[in-house]
Amino acid sequence: MEQHSDPREAHAASASTANRQHGVVSLIDYVWGAILLIPALTIFSSTHVRDLGAAYLLAATAVFFGLLRAILGLRVFLVLTYVPALFGVLAVGADLLRDVNLLEAALIRPDPHEAWPVIQPHAHWIALTAVLLAMPIWVLFRTPSARTGRGKWPSATLAAITFAAVTCGAVFHDTVLRAWPLNVISVAAASAIGRDDFISTALPYAPTNPRSASASWGASQLPGLHPQTETYILIIGESVRADRLGACGGQKQVGISHQDAIIYCDVTSGSSSTHTSVPLLISREMPGGAFRVSKDATFMKAFEEAGFHTYWIAVQERGIAWPDANTDMFVTIKRTDRESLLPSLRLAFAQNAPKKLIVVHTYGAHFSYCDRYEPATAAFQADCSKLSELPDDSTLPDFIRAYDNAVAESLRFVDAVISEAAQAGGSSFVMYTADHGENLLDDGRKLFQHALKDPTRWDTTVPAVMWASDEWRASNSARWERLRANHEAKAMHADLVPTLLGSAAIRYVDERRVAIDLGAMSPAADRTRWVMRRLGEKINGDQLRQAQPGRQ
């Protein structure tokens, strides 16, 4: 007997299947939307004092993705937003698990040889994340559901929403362009149309120069007798914390060989990251501003206006500080700063300019430490094979010995610059400081390196070294004695440029009141030494000096 299926049962089965498919599609839709919004709620939330607020940035992100979803349909939407979703998940993970700003790391385009040792321990997790995020797309394309197509919104409604979104973006572009992922998109678009001003507004770490060519320090050299030959040198070190110097409580092998140099052991850096501390160091800005690099000129403009020829010699990339020197030299990094930078420094000394300002930006003691010194002549024996992974209690002694060797080599470069200045003759003044310090599992948080989510006393307490030739000291004996008397004072990066300008007898316009010339006065005991936590946010640097549980 022939059996016939019940049409009602078939319809019910079909409806059940359709409901399951709709359920799967709805789940993917909501989960994917959450994945896209999480970065806007966390690492890309507003930290800028000039923004309208975190809620507005989140709204901009939600409207952007919502419009894409309505216009494109779910399948195309998932494909087009796969890369932002992957980057967002990795960025949130890097921030939460390693306190690393992945957006900053991506934009500065680090040397692959430097980046790979950091990425390698997490490569399998990155690959797994990429596969997991691809699975919803694979499932969706295998699900024949009408809900995966473009939405059925009326054209007039969609046009009105789009017009409103574009209008808000035009009116509040300073805020909208900082919203995730519009910050990244706007940088790419601005680069294509040549609007660099949009880039520096939209993304603090974008590779474009925001400095204004017309900015002035209103500077001039004070009247009086000045030497025929004057040379002022600022050496910006890298990742050197003060307490590793012998003069500051560290190993006696780590120090400056020139006995007449003055060493400051308690200098607060502007931040714990090179990309924010160096622009602050050479500027009239204080920590807490909304922009990484301001439109203002650097202090080199003040020297230039006072009749000096200015030089910027660096192994680190231009975009860190966007220097405005008369002459710049960006050289290829070798194993040590002495190998990399001394030849270019000698070229600057040899040029026919009686008044010179030379800024030298080094690679100092940056990780990997063993790559910063010659092991054969190092003071401390470190097993560099143990430095390929993150440190733990068993490998930390080797990390510290390698770090001390790197710091010692950094100071040998300072010694070499001083010797070059002395040999060149004339009146010369040399100043050194590090951009920031370094964490070496110092407390219960077990933090390592620098540029982490929150600054610490170890990655913001740096040394400063000052040296002057006999001719300079003979003409500035009272200033030299004041610098020596202040060497135990609580100084900060913001004091160093005023001190350097004062040492060259240059007057200039500076609205800051907290920054002082250490050669003319002593810092007030109750002043706050601000440190940038992130753009738009500062923290009292002296509060970071409260001890944390763990190794001290």
Tell me the β-bridge partners of 507. 220
Grouping H, G, I as helix, E, B as strand and the rest as coil, residue 526 is coil
529 and 492 Cβ atoms separated by less than 8 Å: yes
More confident residue, 345 or 108: 345
Q: Is the pLDDT of residue 370 over 90?
A: yes
Determine which of 189-203, 306-320, 402-416 has the lowest per-residue pLDDT on average.
189-203
Residue 181: asked if its preceding bond is cis (omega within 30°), the reply is yes
pLDDT of residue 552: 45
Q: Is the pLDDT of residue 495 over 70?
A: yes
482 and 279 Cβ atoms separated by less than 8 Å: no
CATH architecture classification, 220-311+331-356+365-545: 3-Layer(aba) Sandwich (3.40)
278, two tokens = 């160096």
Find the farthest-apart pair of alpha carbons in the chain and give their distance in angstroms, rounded. Answer: 122
34, two tokens = 């959450």
Q: Which helix (H) or strand (E) holds 231?
A: strand 230-237
Q: Which helix (H) or strand (E) holds 538?
A: strand 537-540
Q: What is the pLDDT of residues 234-263, one digit of tens each?
A: 999 999 999 999 999 999 999 999 999 999
The band of 178, judged by pLDDT with boundaries at 50, 70 and 90, is confident
The band of 352, judged by pLDDT with boundaries at 50, 70 and 90, is very high
Q: What is the pLDDT of residues 372-389, one digit of tens each?
A: 999 999 999 999 988 878
More confident residue, 39 or 534: 39
pLDDT of residue 174: 55
Residue 190's nearest CA partner among 171, 203, 176 is: 203
Residue 475's nearest CA partner among 426, 438, 437 is: 426
Residues 6+ apart with CB under 8 A from 487: 262, 263, 264, 265
429, two tokens = 């003044």
State the DSSP string of 68-123: HHHHH-HHHHHHHTHHHHHHHHHHHHHHHHH---HHHHHHT---HHHHHHHHGGGH
For 169-188, what is the mean pLDDT? 68
Determine which of 167-171, 388-392, 414-418, 527-531 has the lowest per-residue pLDDT on average.
167-171
Residues 6+ apart with CB under 8 A from 345: 313, 358, 360, 417, 420
367, two tokens = 């990780």
Q: Computed from CA positions of residues 509, 514, 515, 519, in that sequence, does the dihedral angle turn out positive or negative? A: positive
For 118-141, what is the mean pLDDT? 80
Length of the chain: 552
Q: Is the pLDDT of residue 29 over 90?
A: no
Determine which of 406-410, 464-468, 529-533 has the lowest per-residue pLDDT on average.
529-533
> Which burial class, exposed, middle or buried, applies to 280 when counting CB atoms under 10 A from its CB (0-12, 13-18, 19+)?
buried
Q: Is the pLDDT of residue 73 over 70?
A: yes
| Range among 66-75, 114-123, 462-471 with highest mean pLDDT value | 462-471
Buried b (16+ CB within 10 A) or exposed e, 370-403: bbbbeeeebebebebebbeeebeeebbebbbbbb
Grouping H, G, I as helix, E, B as strand and the rest as coil, residue 295 is coil
Q: What percent of the chain has pLDDT over 70?
A: 79
Taking the C-alpha atoms of residue 516 and residue 114, their distance in angstroms, rounded to an integer, is 37
Domain with CATH 3.40.720.10 in the chain: 220-311+331-356+365-545
pLDDT of residue 104: 59
More confident residue, 146 or 398: 398
The band of 52, judged by pLDDT with boundaries at 50, 70 and 90, is very low
Residue 434's nearest CA partner among 247, 259, 246, 271 is: 271
Q: Is the pLDDT of residue 50 over 50?
A: no
Determine which of 151-155, 347-351, 541-545 has the lowest per-residue pLDDT on average.
151-155
Phi, psi torsion values for 227, nearest 5 degrees: -60, 150
pLDDT of residue 48: 43
